Structure formats: structure tokens, C-alpha cells
A and B are shown apart, each in its own frame.
Chain A
Amino acid sequence: MAADPATLINWGLLALEPPGWGGVLLGGLLNSIKIAVGGYALGLVLGTGGAFGKLYGGPVLKDLLEVYTTLVRAIPELVLILLLYYAGTDLLNQLMAAMGYGPVDISGLAAGIFVIGVVQGAYSTEVLRGAIKAVPAGQIEAARAYGMSPVQIMRRITLPAMLPHAIPGLSNLWLIATKDTALLAVVGFSELTLVTRQAAGSTKAYLLFFCAAGALYLALTLVSNVIIRIIETRARRGMAAPA
């Protein structure tokens, strides 16, 4: 029997108050955003270091970074997340034991930020490396001729000059980071996708909840797109329009 539409969609399930699951979904979205922001920030730090290391580092550092980016780009995120999740928590606990402390309980949030950050770090290494290479060599040579130290060159010339080249890639990485947080559902962290599944499982209103979660993710993407557009126009001030 095909149920009539009124009982098929029970909008009351999405109410924010406890009989409805709306509040739980929004809490999951908040968790997802926290992990995405944290992981993305960690990834940017790793990526900046990685890109400079890959371009200007010694031969050993270059090779190690090459191994890092090759592995992360060739192995599924899901597998990396599992490996890093277990290896990371294990390593930390052994470290604590070696230093004479008892085992610590690592929060899911910290572990999630760590694994997303390591994956994002490899991606942003590649994006930033491409962007740094797009900075005309003459500008960096000129800075060197002025007697600036490498750190000064990086802060004053390379980073600001590469930014317009890096922004399209970095904004795509942000969108990937927001979607990668869904993979943490597999290790049991209660972000948006997992709480959606729990809500759907206990109410049997699968379509309603998954569509609602989809709308939340989509809203996050669309809002991000608007902000990215604003940042991009700002960073490209004074440059020729892209061909």
C-alpha cells in the first residue's frame, strides 16, 4: 500500500525541540563545521610548510614530502582516516605511557581534526606548491638582492604574491574538507551524517532526514561559495580578468 502524502512526510520530526530531531541535526552540522575548520586550518599549516619544503628544502626533506603527498593522493580517504585514527590515538597513548602518565581519552573532535588535517595537508601542499611556482622568479630574486632573509621573503613577497593563484585551489579544498567530515561517520564520530542516520534509523523516516541533511550540506557549500567569491574578487584587485 502506498501511504498518503500527509503521513509520508511528517514535518514535526524536524522540530528543534526534543521530540523532533532538528536540534540534533544542527548539533551534528556544528560538529562537522568545527572539524572542517580545524582540519582545514591544520592542513593549511602543514601545506605551507610542505610546499616550502618541497620547493626549497634539502634532498631528504623533499623525498619524504614526496612520499607523504604520493601516499595521501593514492590511498582512499576512508582508509587513511581509519589508519590515522587508530595509529594516532595509539601513538599518543604510548607516548603518554612513556612519559609516565596514564592513558588519555582522546576526544573525537581532536582525532577528527587531526586526520582531516593530515589528509588536507597533502592536498594543500600540492596546491600551494603550484601557486608558489607561479610567482615570477624575478620578484623573489629582487627580494634576495635587497638582502631580505628567507623568512622575510616568504612573509613579504612569496605568500602575498602567490595568494591569488592559490585561492581557486584552496577554496575547492575547503569544499572537499566539509564533505570529507562525513567520512568520520564510519569511525563513529557524531557529525551530521551519522546523527542523520541515527535519527532516520529510530524514526524510520529515512528520506526526510537524509534530504534534510543534504539541504544542510548544500547550504554550507552555497554559503561558502558566496564568501569565496568575495575573497577572490578582493585578492584579484588590480589584476587582469582571468582569461
Chain B
Amino acid sequence: MNGETGTIEATALTELPSGRDFLKPHRIILLAVAVIAVFCMAWFMRWDWIPEYAGRLAQGVGVTLLMLFSTCVLGFLFAVPLGLAQVTGPWPLKLLAKTFCTIIRGTPLLLQLWLLYYGLGSLFPQFPAIRESFLWPYLREAWPYGAAALTISFAAYEGEVMRGAFAGVPAGELEAARAYGMSRWKVFRRIWLPRAVHRALPTLNGETVLQLKSTPLVATITVIDVYAVISKIRQTTYLTYEPLLLLALIYLCLTAILVVAFRTLENKIPTRGA
């Protein structure tokens, strides 16, 4: 198990617990305890606020998912050149990509987010050119900064994974493609990229779950995702635990759905042998 993949698996759920041989005698007792606990929670805690906020919660989940998918897709598009530059680029590009990944991976996402939102956000209004451009209505909102920070972070982490994936494609396959007379671009498009993406797919699952776990941070810059909705509920109802427990349950379900989706995707790609 190499360090990078191992760490992703240790910090992000990438596999659901197996359901085979689920019902053993001790599990029936554990399940009974769990059912009693859930019943106590439903009975003794206050849940009457849920219907009132259900619509806003659903919207919040939508914003969270939108943030997750858009930043993952964008981040992945940036990650491919980042990985490629580190493997095969000329040294200035290599150095640049390496520095970028080191800086982003070496500082907390919350700090990057606040740097973009408060730092750049306070700088932009000083330039009339920006204030008069068509981008200004968007730059006055919070979500572009959140999306940018999440995209940059995903690109840096996934860029490191893609570097390993590009370097790990067997040289013989690339040599064979070149021997067939393919141009450099064709080798990249037909062999190198697909093989690298295939190699990176298992870690992509973990990285996506990690990204989902990072999305609530955008609530700190006033993006109304599901976490922000729950915070609002906590402020108006003065409840400490109930909204947080519901939030945990929502994230648990989202993670489970992601894991199942990735499992289906991985099973669709034919592999030889094991």
C-alpha cells in the first residue's frame, strides 16, 4: 500500500461495509441497541422544525452537490496538465506545477478560501476596470470565490495523483504506440491519458469524497449550502444537537451515494485478470 493512496482511503470512505453474513447473533443485539437509540432520539428530541425547513434544506443539498460536481470536474481538467507538466514538462513548467501543488497542499483550505474572498474581494473594488466589466455582478457574490478555492484545491491534490498515474503507465505501451508511428498528441490521446485516468480512478473516488467533506467550508463565506441552512436553523430554533445530527445523516447519505456510484462506474470498465 503506498502512502498517498493509503492516506486517501484512511481519511475518506471509499468502500461501504460489506453486507454479506450480516446477521450474526451479536449483530442482532447491536441492531436492537441501535434501534432503541434511534427511537429515543426521535422521541425525546425535537424534530418538529423539519417540515418548515424541508424546502430550504433540499435547496442547500442542491447547492452542495452543484459545488461538489462543478469543482470536481473543473479541478480535474486543471489536474491533467498539472500532472503532465510535472512528469514530462520542461523544467520551468515542472517547477511551476510542483510549487503550485506544494503551496496549495501545504496550507489549509479555510485559509485559501478566506484569502480569496476577503483578500481578493477587498482588492477588486479598487480597480474601476473590474467594477465596470461584465464580471462584476458575479464578483460581488460569494460563490465564485468558494468555487475557485475548491477547484484550486482539488486540482492540486488530484494533480499530484495524476502525476503518479502518468508516471506509472508502462513505458512499453508508449513505446509501442510510438513504434506504430503515432504522433505525440495521438499517443497522449489514445494511450497515455486513458491509461492514466484508469489508474487514477480508485483514488478519484476518495478525492471526491474528500471534496464533499470540504464543501461545508464555503458556508463560512456566506454561500448558502446545506451546512449554512443547518446553521441558520440552529440560530433560529436554539437547538444544539438535532440539526447537527440531521446534517451528519445527510452527509452520510451523500457519501454513500457517491461510493456506490463510483463502484458502479469502476465495474463498467473492463479489466483483465484480477
Interface residues, chain A, CB within 8 Å of chain B?
1-3, 59-60, 63-64, 66, 70-71, 73-80, 82-83, 86-87, 90, 123-124, 126-127, 130, 134, 165, 168-169, 171-173, 175-176, 179-183, 185-186, 193, 196-197, 200, 204, 206-207, 210-211, 213-214, 217-218, 221-222
Contacts and interface: CB of A to CB of B under 8 A. Distances in A.
A138 to B, nearest CB: 19
B23 to A, nearest CB: 12
Interface string B96-108: 0000001101111
Interface in B100-118: 102-103, 105-112, 114-115, 118
Contacts of B209: 73-74
Contact of B11 (A1, A3, A73, A86): A73
Given A74-B209, A221-B107, 10 more contacts: A75-B251, A79-B248, A82-B244, A86-B244, A182-B110, A193-B111, A196-B114, A206-B115, A210-B111, A214-B115
Nearest to A207: B119
Contacts of A124: 10
Contact of A126 (B10, B215, B247): B10
B10 A123 contact: yes
5 contacts: A73-B10, A73-B209, A74-B251, A193-B111, A214-B112
A206 B118 contact: yes
Interface in B211-269: 212-217, 220, 227, 240-241, 244-245, 247-248, 251-252, 255-256
A1 B123 CA distance: 11
Q: Which 8 A-B pairs have the closest CB atoms?
A: A168-B3, A182-B108, A126-B10, A221-B106, A210-B115, A172-B7, A74-B255, A207-B119
Contact of A74 (B30, B108, B240, B256): B256
B54 interface: no
Given A2-B127, A59-B26, A210-B119, A70 B108 contact: no
Contacts of A66: 17
B13 A172 contact: no
A63 B118 contact: no
A139 to B, nearest CB: 18
B7 A207 contact: no
A130 B1 contact: yes
Contact of B3 (A71, A86, A172): A172
B24 interface: yes
Contact of A76 (B10, B120, B126, B215): B215
Contact of B111 (A73, A165, A186, A217): A217
Interface residues of B, number: 56
A64 B106 CA distance: 34
Dominant SS among interface residues on chain B? helix
Interface of B: 1-4, 6-7, 9-13, 17, 24, 26-27, 30, 102-103, 105-112, 114-115, 118-123, 126-128, 209, 212-217, 220, 227, 240-241, 244-245, 247-248, 251-252, 255-256
Nearest to A64: B30
A70 B103 CA distance: 30
Given A59-B24, A185-B110, A3 B3 contact: no
A214 B216 contact: no
B16 to A, nearest CB: 8
A85 to B, nearest CB: 10
B240 A86 contact: yes
A63 B26 contact: yes
A141 B4 CA distance: 30
Contact of B30 (A60, A165, A179): A60
A217 B251 contact: no
A160 to B, nearest CB: 18
A11 B251 CA distance: 43
Given A73-B11, A173-B7, A214-B107, A1 B247 contact: no
A217 B107 CA distance: 5
A66 B52 CA distance: 35
Contacts of A63: 26-27, 30
Contacts of B24: 59
Contacts of A210: 111, 114-115, 118-119
B25 to A, nearest CB: 9
